[in-house]
Chain A
Amino acid sequence: MFKKLPYYTKRKIYGFLFITPWLIGFLLFFAVPFVQSCLYGFQDLTTTAEGMVGTWVGLKNFDYALFRDTQFLIQCAGSLRDLVTVPLILVYSICFALLLKKEYPGRTLMRAIAFLPVIIGSGVLMDIMKTDVFSTSMNTAESTYLFSSSGLTGFFQSMGLPVGMVNFINDVISKIFDLTWRSGVQILLFLAGLHNIPSYVYEAADIEGANALEQFFKITLPMLTPMILLNVVYSVIDIFADYGNAIIQMIYNTAFSSVRFGYASALSILYFLMVAVVLVVLYLVLKRFIVHAEE
């Protein structure tokens, strides 16, 4: 019976069979929980011996989150502001990947160090380190600044810089740790992307007399654009789903500390919608700049 099917139908069935395990997993462990989560957002949930029992309350949870909760929208704005680090992460990781591309003594060691955050940089560890490593005083509340902020602040103030500027510089410095420890995967993806640019393109550019800077802006950067898009998406998701993210902790606490499951679901759905809007906008904007190399 199966043997009699035409070749192309058979190929279709084989292709479908290859993705079947994933499809089952997708339905069971993603689609069903996702739809349930959406439904929970419209309910008040209480735990009983047989599981969750919900009563429909319509849009009450969403209404509360958007118009009466004093924290939610502020936290959302806060995590949107965190997106400022995305361009910084990209620039930093492109530069680092370029430094790792060519052979030189010590490259292997440097590469090992560059990948270190991927291996050991879990959210929990970063959270502990941030509140600890950079504390030079007993005061842990405002001591998240890298390289002893008090010394730097004093230095800048004695140089006569305005206070606002000093604070800004301190802020940037305090983000360095975050920045570098978030960039592991991005460096790695850029490095993989760099190795995919065929060397004959550079050879041709050399013969034509293009200097290193021209080569970077006219060859390397355009050829990396698909990777840049991937990295933007990855970085945004990474920032939004981070362990230390205030909103994530708020959702978590609402669900498991104050046991308001319905409200937590509503919050997480709203949060997801925000993430999705940001990603779609970024994707549509960046898509125009993508260069597809001709084979």
Chain B
Amino acid sequence: MQKVLYKIKGGKWFWTICKYAILILLAYQLLYPVLYMISSSIKAPADSYDPSVVWIPKHLSNVGFVDAFKSMKYMSALVGSMQIGLGCAVLDVISCALAGYGFARYRFPLKNVFFVCVILTLMVPTQTIILPYYLNMRFFNPAGIMSLVSMITGKATAINLVGNNLAFFIPSALGAGIRSGLYIYIFKQFFEGMSSALEESAYVDGSGPLRTFLYIMLPNAKNAIVTVFLFSFVWHFNDYYMSKQLLGTNRRTLIVALSSLRVDLAALIGGQTTTDPIRIQTRIQAGCLLTILPMFLLYMLAQDRLADSIEHMGIK
């Protein structure tokens, strides 16, 4: 028995070393693109030709950042991204928590059909519906309501929401934003996992369903709320298709700006560089770094709390 224990202990050291070796490898290959971004965005374009420069540049330069900043119209794009990301995240949390709670705690006719519909919204690629979706936003007239309004006010029958933040906020407020189905699923699973004793005592004490939801269930659903908020924020921030279509030609988010950075840079720094991918590369990497920077900083500030919440979001 003693011998066996000793053997296990020896094995333990071996496993610990193996584990850390694997962890370092994983960390390296996950951080590789970020390190590469940093390394190539701070190097002077001339260094790209020097084969002896691998990671640490010989000549530092901020020309990449300056050019990328200019051609992305960084500040306005950042403001746009933040407005859409934060606004939609808040609205998604509210609408999906309500729906998730309804699905988790109540029985009503067609409930299962509706829940299949929730899953269906996740299954259909955005690209399948983007065209009519775009047209609905371009000539926004839900169920003829705008026509009714126009009969009273005498204005146009449909309003144009393209280029307006409302084109993102309205779907999110109604639980139909980007991947809202997943958030409803998360909330449903979470509320189903909560004990119903608290609610029952609240009902006995004479609290109504909405009051119970707001004062008993929501304060206990912190982990699910943080998770959904983070997901919604990140996915709206990183979204390309919806943003590209619904923002029209005048406004851009960071991701949309990044997607056309190569073309914009070529226009900015003149024709001779377009034929030369290496020289434009440092600037594109600078653009990538600028794009991920806000998310990266926010994440670094709050990662402990966020990751803990997600880890214990309690879905089954």
Contact = CB atoms under 8 A, between A and B. Distances in A.
A18 interface: yes
A201 interface: no
Contacts of B143: 28
A177 B20 CA distance: 21
B107 interface: yes
Interface in A236-270: 237, 240-241, 243, 248, 251-252, 255, 261, 264-265, 268-269
B307 A111 contact: yes
Contacts of B59: none
A23 B139 CA distance: 21
Contacts of B139: 51
Contacts of B255: 122, 124-125
Interface in B14-69: 19-20, 22-23, 26-27, 29-34, 36-37
Interface string B216-248: 000000000000000000100011110000000
A196 B316 CA distance: 7
A21 interface: yes
Contacts of B200: none
B98 interface: yes
Interface in B136-182: 136, 138-139, 142-143, 170-171, 173-176, 180, 182
B243 to A, nearest CB: 10
Q: Say what secondary structure dominates the interface of chain A.
A: helix
Contact of B311 (A116, A123, A191): A191
Contacts of B312: 192, 195
Contacts of A189: 315
Interface string A172-192: 000011001100000011011
Most buried by A among B102, B128, B182, B209: B128
Interface string B100-128: 01110111110100100110111111111
Given A12-B107, A25-B175, A138 B132 contact: no
A132 to B, nearest CB: 6
Contacts of A124: 238, 240, 255, 258-259
B296 A120 contact: yes
| Band of interface residues on B | 35 or more
B123 A275 contact: yes
A285 interface: no
B295 interface: yes
Contact of B123 (A13, A33, A51, A237): A237
Contacts of A146: 29
B9 to A, nearest CB: 15
Contacts of A181: 30, 33
B288 interface: yes
A128 B125 contact: no
Nearest to A111: B307
Contacts of B315: 189, 192-193, 196
Nearest to B278: A138
A85 B129 CA distance: 26
Contact of A133 (B33, B125, B299): B33
Contact of A37 (B27, B132, B142): B132
B307 A123 contact: no
Given A25-B95, A25-B176, A119-B299, A128 B314 contact: no
Contact of A176 (B29, B34, B138, B184): B29
Contacts of A160: none
B303 interface: yes
Given A14-B106, A34-B129, 16 more contacts: A15-B105, A18-B98, A21-B175, A26-B117, A29-B136, A30-B176, A32-B136, A37-B131, A114-B26, A117-B30, A128-B258, A129-B37, A176-B29, A192-B310, A243-B241, A269-B128
